A = this chain, B = another copy of it.
Amino acid sequence: MNRIPFAEVQAALAGALQKLGFGAERAETCARLFAETTRDGVYTHGVNRFSRFVATIRNGRVDPSAEPEVVCRLGALERWDGHQGAGNLNALAAMERAIALGRGHGVGCVALGNTNHWMRGGTYGWQAAEAGMIGVCWTNTMPNLPPWGGAERVIGNNPLIIGVPRKSGPVVLDMAMSQFSYGALESYRKRGEMLPVDGGFDSEGNLTRDPGAIEKSWRPLPAGYWKGSGLAVVLDMIAAMMTQGKATYQIPAEALFETAISQMFLALNPAAFGEAEEADRIADGIVASLHACAPAKHGGKVRYPGEQTLKIREENMRLGLPVEPEVWKEILAL
């Protein structure tokens, strides 16, 4: 594993993006988001995903020069058209606008249609939290998950992100509606491990912890069975209705061709009535109550969502971002 300084990674990605048609500033920002994702330990959606992102530019699904645009406005709500531009840049702009709306109106919302995969969803939760705002956002996806009671993949795993500001460390939940991603199933299988809990059905329709059996059946479980399934459905409905954009069932079901997806960005202002410090104390109190909880296993610890991130971030900034030699070679060759 190489350890490469953050700035060097960002510069390499930005250089590649400029060659692909991104303007200088947009290339810098887009590259920063990929590098920050690796910096924060979300290796599946950072530098390791860059070549897949490049492939969607080359196959025309992502338009490198497209910028998102507001198309309708009413008070604290805006609808934006992503013009099938880079998903992470579009999402960043949408959350930035939701934050501005939330500051002025207490709550703000941007419905972003016709956009592309936003890469790491947690990015926009951190964005809101670091701006002192509560951010809630979600995206629909191509059909990749069977609904509860169904045998075919007709719903999306529709990640939901909630970021809560807190001076001593934002709380950021980043959860897809499947219990395990296909990427996670693959990792467990390659390590020869069983899943810690049931992760899907085998081909006979029995619940199983065997990752390979689930990959074969294409029937991973929604998180919480019927609960995650239902939540995925309503999140898709809201995103498609508010954007007047595509619903999951209308999105091409191949990773490199998934496009024109629908996303929602909400921002709530915990300091709307001037009590940022009190809100911070409230968040601290909840964190303290979790940390005081007796662990289920000797030596264990109850953690809040996102608790590990700042530690990983510090380490990766100090030592350099961990990048596989093969991945790095590929990026330098772009």
Chain A interface residues (CB < 8 Å from chain B): 72, 74-79, 104-109, 134, 146-152, 154-155, 160, 162, 164, 171, 173, 175, 179, 197-198, 201, 205, 207, 219, 223-225, 227-228, 230-231, 233-238, 240-242, 244, 247-250, 266, 268-270, 272-273, 275, 278-279, 282-283, 285-286, 289-290, 292-297, 300-305
In contact, B244 and A275 (Cβ under 8 angstroms): yes
- CB-nearest residue of chain B relative to A250? B285
Q: Give the residues in chain B near A292, CB-CB below 8 Å.
A: 154
- Known contacts A148-B302, A293-B150: does B228 contact A241 (CB below 8 Å)? no
In contact, B74 and A234 (Cβ under 8 angstroms): no
Pick the residue among B76, B149, B273, B304 that contacts A72 (CB under 8 A).
B273
17 A-B residue pairings within 8 Å (CB atoms): A76-B106, A77-B105, A77-B106, A77-B269, A134-B238, A149-B295, A149-B296, A150-B290, A150-B296, A151-B295, A154-B302, A164-B241, A173-B233, A224-B227, A224-B228, A237-B286, A247-B282
In contact, A154 and B289 (Cβ under 8 angstroms): yes
Q: Give the residues in chain B near A242, CB-CB below 8 Å.
A: 134, 268, 270
| A228-B244 Cα distance, complex, nearest whole Å | 29
In contact, B301 and A241 (Cβ under 8 angstroms): no
* Copies held by the complex: 2
Pick the residue among B173, B197, B247 that contacts A289 (CB under 8 A).
B247
Q: Give the residues in chain B near A296, CB-CB below 8 Å.
A: 146, 149-151, 201, 205, 219
In contact, B289 and A244 (Cβ under 8 angstroms): no
Q: Give the residues in chain B near A275, CB-CB below 8 Å.
A: 244
| A216-B219 Cα distance, complex, nearest whole Å | 33
- Known contacts A109-B268, A149-B296, A238-B162: does B154 contact A290 (CB below 8 Å)? yes
In contact, B107 and A179 (Cβ under 8 angstroms): no
- CB-nearest residue of chain B relative to A175? B227
| A-B residue pairs, 6 tightest by C-beta | A77-B106, A223-B224, A75-B105, A249-B289, A224-B224, A150-B293
| A285-B240 Cα distance, complex, nearest whole Å | 10
Q: Give the residues in chain B near A198, CB-CB below 8 Å.
A: 197-198
| A154-B235 Cα distance, complex, nearest whole Å | 28
User: Chain B's nearest CB lies how many Å from the CB of A163?
Assistant: 8
Q: Give the residues in chain B near A164, CB-CB below 8 Å.
A: 234, 237-238, 241
